[in-house]
Amino acid sequence: MFSLNNEFPSIILDIGSESTKAGIGGEDAPHFVFSSYYGQDLTKNEYYVGDNVLNPRLNSEILKMKANGSVGNWESVMEILDHLFKDKLQVDASDYPILLTETYGTEQGTRSKFAEILFEKFQTPALYFAHDAVLSLFALGKSSGLVVDLGSTTRVVPVHEGYILRSGIGTSQMGSILIEDLYRHLLHTRGTPNLEHKYFSKNQNKNYNTNTSNQMNLNGGFQYRKSHNQFFDHLIYKDMKESLSNVVQDKDIIIELIQNGSNSSNYVDLNYELPNKMSLADLQLDSSLIVETWFSENNYLNKNGLNVSNLNPNFSSNNIVPIQDLVAHSINNSLTDIKQSLSECILFTGGGALTKGIIPRAEKEIQNKMFKNSNCKVIQFENSIETRFSSWIGGSILASLTFFQHLWISKKQYEENGPQIVEEKFLKK
């Protein structure tokens, strides 16, 4: 039986906007990684999660469980957790304390709602919340540093001795969401190709891509929803992002490519084949301009005269900030005696940190932005697993340490004090 005074196997759970990572504490990597999207049957009010999302269903929507740190539908959270415990880990949640990662600035009340679900529905014996930036540093064996998280957006988070320095946090809307929006625009400029999906039959694809309404009538009146198409389009844009994106090491290369095109000494004939076998050629300049948005104004948006809010109404051009500006602002606004520890450990995490060329370019831009005698060191994990799952790995390390065991909030404490104990205990973390 779980006790606050004894070491006990725990479940580490990292629910991101794109994927959910889960496994047992003390392991080197999560046992399971599956989609954080979910499907909702509109006729039966039923949910389907995990790999089942990839199977299109009639009269249903495909939705995102979590966006910008906020949960849109708590029923979907319960379904995903149930799927995780029963089908993936195959454990009884009442036997395992759970460490749950969170992003700084998560909507108020989210912790207490998770606590309510885990303690009351799943009967977990204990719970702990830890910030993903702090955990990423733990995965590196550090407790202080500046974490640059290149995820759905970009976040720069300074951490000192395991505590987040709130005044130094910086964000930019440049990230995977905007990158995929830019690839979507790129495809439209190439003639709005029919993005056929392997998950649909040939006849379904034909109907799917010619109907712009929210409902698509197929198979005797049953309906596919527009959200299915958007989800599978997202998978294509995501693949383009991961396959084509390459950060140039000097922004002058971009200018030279614009001026000379295929006659440039830096030109590479970059192609991409869509699911419908249509091949897109000459993608080097556009794909480089897209990821250049991380560093300079000489990017895809400005080259094409685009207002980012027209691509995504949730975005604003005022919130597209270069990485080096975010880093410099964070370090310069920190106390003098900790600036050095931040400068010497600038850790890049998230899927965007795996973009070709981004680490050396980031180090160059940050060094140029900071004062001459600044010894800035940009760090990346040794492999893609650590880069993608650093916060989960850090949680796995933390939960297995002896000193940590008394930090759990037990189910008994929750029952005696109510949900507010969760918000109170982690308020200053």
pLDDT digits (tens, 9 = 90+) for 193-204: 567 666 554 544
Strands 346-349 and 145-150: parallel
Q: Indicate whether 108 and 180 sit together in one domain.
A: no
Q: How many residues does the chain have?
A: 429
Using the 3D structure, point to which of 295, 319, 343 is the last residue of a domain.
319
Using the 3D structure, point to which of 297, 319, 341 is the last residue of a domain.
319
Q: Indicate whether 397 and 285 sit together in one domain.
A: no
Give the pLDDT band of residue 224 (cuts 50, 70, 90). Answer: low
pLDDT digits over 100-133, tens only?
999 988 888 899 999 999 999 999 999 999 999 9
When pLDDT is averaged across residues 35-43 and rounded to a whole number, the result is 90
When pLDDT is averaged across residues 396-417 and rounded to a whole number, the result is 94
Give the pLDDT band of residue 212 (cuts 50, 70, 90). Answer: very low
Q: Is 337 within the bounds of a domain?
A: no
Position 203 scores a pLDDT of 47
Q: Indicate whether 116 and 194 sit together in one domain.
A: no
Give the pLDDT band of residue 54 (cuts 50, 70, 90). Answer: confident
Strands 163-164 and 154-160: antiparallel
CATH of the domain at 89: 3.30.420.40
State the total domains in the chain: 2
What distance in Å separates the CA atoms of residue 127 and residue 123, rounded to the nearest whole number? 11
Task: Provide the 10 A C-beta neighbour count for residue 123.
Answer: 12
This prediction's pTM: 0.91
Strands, E assignment, 66-139 = 66-67, 70-71, 98-102, 126-131
Averaged pLDDT of the chain: 88
Tokens in use for 118? 């885990």
Check pLDDT > 80 for residue 287.
yes
Residue 324 in 3-state DSSP? helix
When pLDDT is averaged across residues 421-429 and rounded to a whole number, the result is 76
CATH of the domain at 259: 3.90.640.10
Using the 3D structure, point to which of 319, 342, 359 is the last residue of a domain.
319
When pLDDT is averaged across residues 19-38 and rounded to a whole number, the result is 94
Position 10 scores a pLDDT of 96
Contact in structure between 139 and 391 (CB atoms under 8 Å): yes
Q: Indicate whether 182 and 272 sit together in one domain.
A: yes
The per-residue b/e assignment along 12-23, b for 16 or more CB within 10 angstroms, e otherwise, is bbbbbbbbbbbb
Task: Provide the 10 A C-beta neighbour count for residue 179.
Answer: 26
Position 208 scores a pLDDT of 43
Q: Containing domain of residue 31, as a range?
A: 11-132+391-426
Instruction: Write the CA distances from 257 to 261, 265, 269, 278, integer angstroms.
Output: 5, 9, 12, 25
Check pLDDT > 50 for residue 213.
no
What distance in Å separates the CA atoms of residue 225 and residue 216, rounded to the nearest whole number? 6
Question: What percentage of the chain reaches a pLDDT higher than 90?
Answer: 66
Q: Indicate whether 68 and 189 sit together in one domain.
A: no
> Which of the residue ranges 38-47, 108-117, 166-175, 384-393 would you say has the lowest mean pLDDT?
38-47
Q: Is 416 within the bounds of a domain?
A: yes
Q: Is 3 within the bounds of a domain?
A: no
What distance in Å separates the CA atoms of residue 283 and residue 269, rounded to the nearest whole number? 7
List CB contacts of 90: < 8 A, sequence separation 6 or more: none
Check pLDDT > 80 for residue 205.
no
Give the pLDDT band of residue 322 (cuts 50, 70, 90). Answer: very high
Q: Indicate whether 413 and 297 sit together in one domain.
A: no
Q: Indicate whether 241 and 128 sit together in one domain.
A: no
Check pLDDT > 80 for residue 216.
no
Q: Is 76 within the bounds of a domain?
A: yes
What distance in Å separates the CA atoms of residue 106 and residue 67, rounded to the nearest whole number? 10
pLDDT digits over 62-79, tens only?
999 887 668 888 999 999
